[in-house]
Amino acid sequence: SMEFLAIPMVLNNTSVAASIITGFMVNFRHMFYGLTFPRHRINSGPGKVYSTYALTDESYAIVSAMPRDLQLTGPRILSIQILCQLAWVGGGIIGALAGRIIPPNLEGLEFALVALFVVLMMDSFKNNQDYSLPLTAGVFGIIAAVIFPNQILMVALTAYLAVLLLRFYSPQLDEKMEWRRGSKDA
């Protein structure tokens, strides 16, 4: 996402500090990805390095949308990431060429990225139908909107990350917070 912000930031002479903070805020979501991405299944050092580099929204969504009983191998994970990177680079080239043809006043295309994230979230939820996850995120979003209206995203994501870390390191807490349809707690 930073590539979309980098050019305007350079053209507007944005300070180095503001650029660093913006880069951190835009890429903060990778903290969540890194906690659960199955990099441990990749055996080679160069493969792990490339996998870290190639961890994108799309590759994370595809890998995490796989059924839990399907054990992805390291080569398959790397193949997914390579194909996603090729699609991203190829799509970027096609988009740059198409951008010369599409009129600049065309409206509605900005919603495509939002729609992509909604679809990825829905697919991910199909494989892990723990209602506590989106409910927790929603509650933090509402609280952040009320208390910190100018910093909603950062505050809500930080609080959500803290809860995810607690759940990750405390299986007992994770078990207590889990809420699935048809479970004894629902």
Q: What is the mean pLDDT of each run of 10 residues along the chain (186 residues)?
A: 78 86 82 82 92 87 80 91 93 89 79 77 80 92 94 88 92 91 59
Per-residue model confidence (pLDDT) at position 136: 94
Q: How far apart are CA 151 and CA 149, in angstroms?
A: 6
Per-residue model confidence (pLDDT) at position 184: 54
Within 8 A by CB and 6+ apart from 178, the residues are: 130, 132, 185
Which H or E run contains 168? helix 152-169
Per-residue model confidence (pLDDT) at position 170: 93
Per-residue model confidence (pLDDT) at position 167: 93
Per-residue model confidence (pLDDT) at position 186: 47
The predicted model scores a pTM of 0.54
Torsion, CA 154, CA 13, CA 85, CA 101, rounded to 10: 120
The one-letter amino acid at 103: P
CA angle (156 as vertex; 68, 168 as ends), nearest 5: 35
Could you tell me the CA-to-CA distances from 175 to 63, 130, 133, 137, 159 in Å, in that order?
23, 11, 12, 17, 19
